[in-house]
């Protein structure tokens, strides 16, 4: 546009020389003073314009289109021919930051809403940030960056929480209640064999054990009453997610698989633990789950957990955790692991049964370990969109 302006300037000067007069004089003066006018307007507008995100956060399922919304406030009587907004964003697994630019005109004395269409292909948090905004004049002779005061406090960034779509599992579930570590929690809807807590009292029916007769209540009501003992929550099934990941596709499959198993256990009333390594603290993050609300709370925490890359130890310090409690069934959901790492897990003594679920991409051509490692250990291979089939033969 600078070239166009120079041509127009030369034409106005030649026109004035060839045709002396008031009009040609004013035209030449206007063309000469235009850069000064545009400079002053751009400087003024850069101090008045405000840009911000409408929302601080959004939640959406994976593979859906999300609409982050930008608000542009122009309180002046002057329009802006081109506002360039540079957005910075990064996903859960990506290590670098990505940039995208949006160009839009801005109308005078208006608050405009600018909706973006972003495909949420991968699970996790996508963080957006307004990196910078620049105002260009009509001829693109000058541009000014908006000052930090032009961004509303706390509305320069926003986060999009992308949640997984669950795979439907209908596996048989074993009772590992005798394998877990004792706790102070009891099942609210299942009876058990812990005599320290009474679950319910009912009238005697054939088959009830005589040692569970409530003699005081029987004497009062003049009919035989029997005690049901409570079921202690032992969290005997443990699901470990290996977040030592460098690919978004692996992360999606691992998270969807682990949460699908967790939801099945919730539906069957099986208390369990979901856990992953916190790379910063170098400790396991463990969350006990016995109902749907606790499952959803854990999902929120998992989505904000960051992945990491440790090329020296593909399963991190998993087998070195001294506080890892013994359980009935240990389910490890991970990227592909070497036979050495698989052996370390299955020989760790952490559980009475092991299931190793490994992501297997369509392009992988390496040999697969036999599905039956030992009498108490199975290995399965996870493929995108075929998670249900992968778990179909496993008794959880």
How many C-beta atoms lie closer than 10 Å to residue 366's C-beta? Answer: 7
User: Are 135 and 205 contained in the same domain?
Assistant: no
User: Are 332 and 299 contained in the same domain?
Assistant: yes
User: Are 125 and 207 contained in the same domain?
Assistant: no
User: Are 293 and 257 contained in the same domain?
Assistant: yes
Tokens of 44: 């003024």
User: Are 204 and 331 contained in the same domain?
Assistant: no
Can you tell me the distance from the alpha carbon of 228 to that of 212, in angstroms, rounded to the nearest whole number?
A: 7
> In angstroms, how far is the first alpha carbon of the chain from the final one?
68
Count: domains in the chain: 3
With cut-offs at 50, 70 and 90, classify the pLDDT of residue 247: confident
Compute the average pLDDT of residues 231-238: 70
Owner of token pair 């069934």:
329
Can you tell me the distance from the alpha carbon of 181 to that of 190, in angstroms, rounded to the nearest whole number?
A: 18
Environment class of residue 312 by beta-carbon count within 10 Å: exposed (0-12), middle (13-18) or buried (19+)? exposed
pLDDT tens digits for 15-37?
A: 767 777 777 777 777 777 777 88
> 128 with 88: CB under 8 angstroms?
yes
- The reply to whether 372 falls in a domain is yes
Q: Of the residues 231, 260, 285, which one is the last residue of a structural domain?
A: 231
How many C-beta atoms lie closer than 10 Å to residue 115's C-beta? Answer: 11
For the chain, count helices (H), then strands (E): 7, 21
Compute the average pLDDT of residues 3-13: 70
Lowest-confidence segment of 51-60, 132-141, 221-230, 354-363 by average pLDDT: 221-230
Query: The CATH number of the domain where 152 resides is what?
Result: 2.60.40.2030
Q: What is the pTM of this model?
A: 0.70
- The reply to whether 309 falls in a domain is yes
Rg of the chain taking only CA atoms, in angstroms: 33
Domain coverage including residue 214: 191-231
- The reply to whether 337 falls in a domain is yes
With cut-offs at 50, 70 and 90, classify the pLDDT of residue 365: very low
Q: What is the mean pLDDT of the chain?
A: 78
pLDDT tens digits for 197-233?
A: 666 677 777 777 777 777 666 777 778 877 776 655 5
């Amino acid at each position: 546009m600078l070239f166009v302006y120079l041509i127009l300037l030369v034409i106005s000067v030649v026109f004035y020389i060839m045709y002396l007069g008031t009009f040609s004089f004013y035209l030449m003066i206007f063309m000469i003073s235009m850069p000064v006018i545009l400079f002053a307007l751009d400087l003024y507008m850069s101090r008045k314009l405000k840009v911000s995100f409408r929302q601080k956060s959004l939640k959406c399922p994976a593979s859906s289109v999300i609409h982050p919304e930008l608000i542009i406030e122009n309180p002046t009587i002057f329009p802006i021919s081109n506002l360039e907004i540079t957005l910075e964003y990064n996903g859960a697994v990506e290590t670098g930051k990505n940039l995208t630019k949006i160009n839009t005109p801005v109308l005078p004395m208006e608050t405009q809403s600018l909706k973006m269409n972003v495909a949420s292909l991968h699970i996790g948090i996508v963080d957006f940030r307004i990196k910078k905004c620049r105002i260009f004049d009509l001829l693109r002779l000058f541009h000014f960056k908006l000052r930090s005061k032009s961004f509303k406090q706390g509305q320069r960034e926003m986060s999009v929480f992308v949640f997984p779509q669950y795979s439907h599992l209908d596996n048989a579930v074993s009772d590992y209640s005798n394998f877990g570590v004792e706790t102070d929690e009891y099942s609210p809807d299942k009876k058990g064999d812990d005599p320290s807590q009474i679950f319910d009292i009912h009238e005697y029916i054939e088959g009830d054990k005589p040692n569970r007769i409530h003699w005081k209540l029987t004497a009062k009501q003049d009919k035989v009453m029997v005690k049901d003992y409570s079921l202690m929550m032992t969290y005997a099934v443990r699901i470990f997610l290996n977040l030592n990941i460098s690919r978004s596709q692996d992360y999606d499959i691992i998270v969807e698989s682990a949460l699908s198993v967790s939801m099945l256990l919730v539906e069957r009333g099986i208390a369990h633990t979901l856990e992953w390594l916190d790379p910063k603290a170098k400790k396991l993050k463990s969350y006990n789950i016995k109902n749907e609300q606790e499952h959803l709370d854990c999902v929120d925490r998992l989505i904000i957990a960051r992945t990491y890359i440790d090329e020296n130890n593909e399963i991190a310090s998993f087998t070195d955790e001294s506080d890892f409690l013994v359980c009935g069934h240990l389910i490890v959901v991970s990227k592909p692991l070497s036979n050495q790492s698989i052996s370390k897990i299955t020989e760790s003594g952490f559980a009475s049964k092991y299931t190793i679920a490994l992501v297997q991409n369509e392009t992988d051509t390496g040999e697969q370990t036999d599905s039956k490692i030992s009498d108490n250990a199975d290995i399965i291979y996870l493929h995108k969109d075929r998670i249900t089939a992968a778990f179909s033969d496993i008794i959880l």
